[in-house]
Amino acid sequence: MRQYITRRLLQMIPVLIGVSIVIFLIVQLAPGDALTGKMDKGLTAERKQELRHQMGLDLRLDQQYLRWAGGVLHGDFGESTNFKQPVGKVMNTYIWNSFYLAILSLILSVLISIPIGVVSATKQYSRFDAFFTVFALIGISMPSFFFGMLLIKIFAVDLGVLPVTGMTTAGNVATGLSYFLDVARHMILPLIVLTLGSVAGLMRYTRSSMLEVIRQDYIRTARAKGLKEKVVIYRHALRNGMIPVITLLGFWLPGLFSGAFITETIFGWPGIGPIAINAVSGRDYPLLMGINILLAALTLFGNLIADVTYAVVDPRIRLK
């Protein structure tokens, strides 16, 4: 197992290098550069050239990439032109707010969708299955921005029971339990929006996987031996049914980070989403490249976690 993980970590290096090249080239294809629209029109041509030289924008494309990649290897993603701070510091300030939201959404999605998906598969075409099929279709088809604004209209504007935006109440200087409860109240609505879409997709995926497994011959044999239905489903079928679901979960965490961009912006949640959108509109290319590299690393890490989890769920799988 240790050798497998080490080898996979080493394989991530050329993949990340390739991803970084693609990200860098895409950013360079955008019109203008990091200084476009940020310089005073009254600056002389000499001063403008000096600023471009300081940021290395007058170098050849390959030299710009090598300069940027060399800094990334040392933990230096450059300086954000919007925040006037190192990109690493900006991401570290906001990424944890997104991380808490994404992790809670992932945990709730798993705890809700997998049991419902299993029961829907065992009670195919029942009222229970029909209800959650309709629920899943609504969750998958409803845009997150529309659902988010609908929740704000109902719970924040009409009923006034939950806050509209932000992570904490403005002017609140509470600490300890009071601070935690304040953050929890602000987290409810964005968490519902993120969880609904995740539950809808994962629930249908679990149902389809379980339906395929419970029709296998070894499940019929287990039933023919007189085993209880709970033993057949949860001991024999569930493990094999979870293997395709684990593949999906491996990409779910980075997907939650990127998928939360719109949700965080709607609810004013101070996470990585709003600053990424501002980086696009404000041509903050160093910050934008740093965020994309982070999402690429999370995707590779999630894939590694999924591969390792295969061996835990199914002992027949050996990682060598």
Q: What's the pLDDT tens digit per position in 175-189?
A: 788 888 888 899 999
| The domain over range 92-313 is classified in CATH as 1.10.3720.10 | yes
For 14-41, the pLDDT digits (tens) are 998 999 999 888 888 877 666 665 656 6
Residue 215 to residues 84, 212, 222, 310, Cα–Cα distance (Å): 60, 6, 12, 21
Average pLDDT of the residues in 110-139: 91
For 258, half-sphere exposure in the C-beta direction (CA atoms, 13 angstrom radius) is: 15
More confident residue, 244 or 113: 113
More confident residue, 273 or 254: 273
CA dist., res. 93 & res. 95, Å (int): 6
CA dist., res. 293 & res. 299, Å (int): 10
For 182-212, the pLDDT digits (tens) are 888 999 999 999 888 888 888 988 999 999 9
For 38-62, the pLDDT digits (tens) are 656 666 777 777 777 777 777 888 8
Position 189 scores a pLDDT of 92
C-alpha 201: how far from its chain's center? 15
Look over the chain and give the mean of its residue pLDDT values, rounded to a whole number. Answer: 84
Average pLDDT of the residues in 144-159: 90
Position 305 scores a pLDDT of 82
For 218-266, the pLDDT digits (tens) are 888 888 888 888 888 988 888 888 887 887 777 776 766 666 788 888 8
Q: What are phi and psi of 37, to 5 degrees?
A: 80, -5
Position 38 scores a pLDDT of 60
Position 200 scores a pLDDT of 87
Only one residue has tokens 């032109």, namely 81
- For the chain, the DSSP string reads -HHHHHHHHHHHHHHHHHHHHHHHHHHHHSSS-TTTTTS-TTS-HHHHHHHHHHTTTTS-HHHHHHHHHHHHHTT---B-TTTSSBHHHHHHHHHHHHHHHHHHHHHHHHHHHHHHHHHHHHTTTSHHHHHHHHHHHHHHHS-HHHHHHHHIIIIIIIS--S-SSSSS-TT----THHHHHHHHHHHHHHHHHHHHHHHHHHHHHHHHHHHHHHTSHHHHHHHHTT--HHHIIIIIIHHHHHHHHHHHHHTHHHHHHHHHHHHHHHTT--SHHHHHHHHHHTT-HHHHHHHHHHHHHHHHHHHHHHHHHHHHH-TT----
Q: What is the dihedral of CA 222, 227, 232, 235, to 10 degrees?
A: -110
Domain ranges of the chain: 2-73, 92-313
Burial class (CB in 10 A: 0-12, 13-18, 19+), 266: buried
- Return the percentage of the chain with pLDDT > 90, whole number: 14
Burial class (CB in 10 A: 0-12, 13-18, 19+), 245: buried
C-alpha 74: how far from its chain's center? 25
